[in-house]
Structure 1
Amino acid sequence: MINRFLLNEFGERIKQLRLNNNLSQEKLASLTGFHRTYIGMVERGERNISLSNMAVFAKVFDVDLSELLDLKKVNPSHSHNDYEIKNEN
């Protein structure tokens, strides 16, 4: 089960940081080494990215990983209660 809520909010966080840094998707792609379409997919919540790739974004935005993952900056009502639990049934 893919947690769409979490992916969408993380994507919004990446977009927020990108815009706050006055970066286009193309420029962010150049800085991270990721393809521009990958950046767009992350921002739209279409990619479930690895921790290693999160660290690349954090380094480019010059923030700690914990700050990158502070989803309350995108949605003040963000709560872990909205996360979906993977169920093997």
Structure 2
Amino acid sequence: MSKQNVLKELGERIRNERKAQGFSQEGFAHVANLDRSYYGSIERGERNITFYTICEIAEKLNRDVAFFCQDIPPIKSGK
């Protein structure tokens, strides 16, 4: 899986859980203390976010980090 596809998959998982919990994108960005446009770019897979940010998002959604990361295939290097 490419780096971009990994980021898109992670963003999709975050978005799905946010929606399942009834948060709007703007509302959740506020709860997570993230800029709304930055948070939107995370959900679209446009940002290579830090592990710390993943942890913060997981905490605000009352999920373990593994919930978002499990079963994502490894990134294939171009080598």
Q: Give the TM-score normalised by structure 1.
A: 0.78
Say whether 1:65 aligns with 2:65: yes
Which amino acid counterpart does residue 77 of structure 2 have in structure 1? Answer: I
Name the structure 1 match of 2:76. 84
Distance 1:6 1:79 in 2: 8
Residues 14-67 of structure 1, C-alpha deviations (whole Å, 9 max, x = no match): 110111111111111111000110111001110000000000011001011111
Q: Give the TM-score normalised by structure 2.
A: 0.87
Structure number with greater Rg is: 1
Say whether 1:36 aligns with 2:41: no
RMSD: 1.7
SS of residue paired to 2:31: helix
Q: Which runs of 4+ in 1 moved over 2 A?
A: none
Distance 1:11 1:57 in 2: 11
CA gap 1:86/1:62 in 2 versus in 1, 3 angstroms = farther
Identity value in percent: 29
Paired positions, count: 78
Offset at 1:86? 5.9
Unpaired stretches in structure 1, ≥5 consecutive residues:
73-77
